[in-house]
Amino acid sequence: MSASIVHRRGVKFCRYLSHRSIHTTPVKSKAVILGVYKEKDADPEFTIASTVFNEKFGGELEAKLKIAPNSFKAGGCRVLMGLDKEYDAVALVCLGKKDTSYDSLEVLDSRKENVRKAVAAGISKLQSLDVKEVEVDPCGDPEAAAEGSYLKMYSYDELKAKDKRKLPMELTCYLTDKSNASAKSSWKQGQVQAEGQNLARKLMEMPSNKLTPRIFASIAQEKLQNLGNTEIIVRDQKWAEDQNMGAFLCVSKGSQEPLVFLEVSYQGAGKEDLPVAIVGKGVTFDSGGISIKPSASMDEMRADMGGAACTLGAIYAAAKLRLPINIKGFMPLCENMPSGTAVKPGDVVTAMNGKTIQVDNTDAEGRLILADALCYAETFQPKAILDMATLTGAIDVALGAGAAAVFTNSSVLWSSLEKAGSRTGDRVWRMPLWDCYTKQITESQLADLNNISGGRSAGACTAAAFLKEFVKNEHWAHLDIAGVMKNKSEISYLNKGMAGRPTRTIIEFLRNLKI
């Protein structure tokens, strides 16, 4: 009896030919991703898994890598087919240099990052070949291998026709020792961290007509309800009025969509343990309001709820990983729209802490909604407060997609965030929180504060200085994430689109925080 593979309506069948009849049996196409270390002009070196396969194939992997060896570069991939009965495809991926570690100039654990990039190259290739099942070489770091795999596999295409969507593949960690529990659990950890970031990516990418403040809240409820130790409270406009959140309320005034203030709790430690508060800007669409934005790229402002998305993604992962801490998430959600009821330049509003704000530019709305959310977060006496916001175009000019900016009054928070970023590859960079910037937003004609500074300079720093006026906590960090909001091709293990950064860095930070 002989067998051949045929395709019918995109499904793979195995046709067994016998003398009398033809049976067609569906088979799942299965592949393996194998890591190989290789530097220019040097011989390849195999990982534990690729050594096993090279031996199984009688040295064939080594032989194949002798063909145009220098075209096999870090982050690259070669797919070999027809080598094996069990695996329809073998994807060799290049890990680059073998003995890398922490790179102090790059502030990066390059060993981990090389694993993410390499396995992602394999995932991308195999997904385009319609593979259904993939076993992934952990390449010495199952957590990074899972992150690279699950992040690369994700793309938001559920609004496209079925045949245009990338199909998910079933991923598992290839282990030579199937009873290696620690490798399995670190693979799982990487998977959950990637899922947290993918949740943020999805929420950011969703169009604003399909992700209103109320829909955001219902997705949050759906994602958290089965995790245990979580609580979610959805507050409405009346509640915000009762809290005297004049700054938040004024941003929402021009929109037909009701605002939501979302309060999420995760309790992973004892009740007496003070929580870490995370505040996320949740502007589901930022048109600029009366100070309307130019129309080019305005569609990207559907992702102006990126701070709230990363907050939810990080809390989702923290709860799923059962991290031993308490977290409170605060997400002011609304739209910023121009209309007859919208807030107007020069209007003065009063924030929850009684400070008055002259709203000279309605497009500087993020700092207004965060002002009230930060005041409210303070009422829980958190041990630390983080906020994340796609706050200024200025930070994109300064840092681009290289790093999220951190403005903080706490060297403890700074060093924890920097360390977390170097591990996850989703890095942060410190920016100043100085009095000279405060001076620029306290020179208001009518009120205590102005929501913009007089000049064009240091836009991200003056925005941070504005937020500082609403915080008392001695461990506060503001992350301006406007520059890392989307991915063109900067991060090879993320497809083009909204990035969900820096969700994994926040998860890592929460895991290790000691205050």
Whichever of 277 and 452 has its CB closer to ligand BES, that residue is 452
From 192-200, 260-268, 386-394, 402-410, span contacting ligand BES (CB under 6 A): 386-394
CB of 365 to Zn ion, least distance (A): 5
Whichever of 143 and 286 has its CB closer to Zn ion, that residue is 286
Alpha helices in 15-163 (DSSP H): 48-56, 60-65, 110-128, 142-153
Catalytic one among 132, 214, 293, 344? Answer: 293
Whichever of 90 and 452 has its CB closer to ligand BES, that residue is 452
Whichever of 196 and 366 has its CB closer to ligand BES, that residue is 366
What residues numbered 344-403 form the site for Zn ion, per CB under 5 A?
Answer: 363, 365-366
Catalytic one among 117, 223, 253, 367? Answer: 367
Nearest in space to 483 (alpha carbons), one of 423, 421, 402, 376? 402
Question: Cβ contacts of residue 388 below 8 Å, gap of 6+?
Answer: 278, 279, 280, 281, 306, 307, 310, 311, 404, 479, 481, 502, 506
CB of 343 to Zn ion, least distance (A): 12
CB of 456 to ligand BES, least distance (A): 9
Whichever of 377 and 452 has its CB closer to ligand BES, that residue is 452
Interface with Zn ion, residue 195, by CB under 5 A: no
The yes-or-no answer on residue 322 being catalytic is: no
Strand partners, 286: 336
CB of 260 to Zn ion, least distance (A): 17
Interface with ligand BES, residue 205, by CB under 6 A: no
From 8-16, 155-163, 238-246, 392-400, span contacting ligand BES (CB under 6 A): 392-400
| Cβ atoms 39, 100 nearer than 8 A | no
Q: Pairing relation of β-strands 356-359 and 449-450?
A: parallel
Nearest in space to 232 (alpha carbons), one of 216, 248, 211? 216
| Residue of the chain from 196, 254, 289, 366 that contacts ligand BES (CB under 6 A) | 366
* 3-class secondary structure, 11: strand
The yes-or-no answer on residue 367 being catalytic is: yes
To the nearest 10°, report the CA torsion of 173, 156, 120, 483: -130
Whichever of 137 and 257 has its CB closer to ligand BES, that residue is 257
Question: Which of the 8 DSSP states describes residue 96?
Answer: E
| Residue of the chain from 361, 410, 442, 473 that contacts ligand BES (CB under 6 A) | 361
| Residue of the chain from 34, 319, 485, 494 that contacts ligand BES (CB under 6 A) | 485
From 71-79, 283-291, 420-428, 438-446, span contacting Zn ion (CB under 5 A): 283-291
Name the amino acid, one letter, at 323: L
What residues numbered 281-310 form the site for ligand BES, per CB under 6 A?
Answer: 286, 304
- Stated as kind and residue range, the H or E segment containing 135 is strand 133-136
CB of 361 to Zn ion, least distance (A): 8
From 182-190, 245-253, 356-364, 494-502, span contacting ligand BES (CB under 6 A): 356-364
The number of beta carbons lying within 10 Å of the beta carbon of residue 438 is: 18
| Residue of the chain from 304, 335, 378, 418 that contacts Zn ion (CB under 5 A) | 304
Interface with Zn ion, residue 143, by CB under 5 A: no
Interatomic CA distance for residues 492 and 427, integer angstroms: 15
Question: Cβ contacts of residue 408 below 8 Å, gap of 6+?
Answer: 414, 417, 430, 433, 476, 477, 478
* Sign of the dihedral through C-alpha 67, 68, 69, 72: negative
Stated length of the chain: 515
Whichever of 93 and 406 has its CB closer to ligand BES, that residue is 406
Task: Give the end-to-end CA distance of the chain in Å, rounded to a whole number.
Answer: 69
Residues in contact with ligand BES by CB under 6 A are: 286, 304, 361, 363-366, 390-394, 396, 452, 459, 482, 485
The residues carrying an active-site annotation are 293, 367
Residues in contact with Zn ion by CB under 5 A are: 283, 286, 304, 363, 365-366
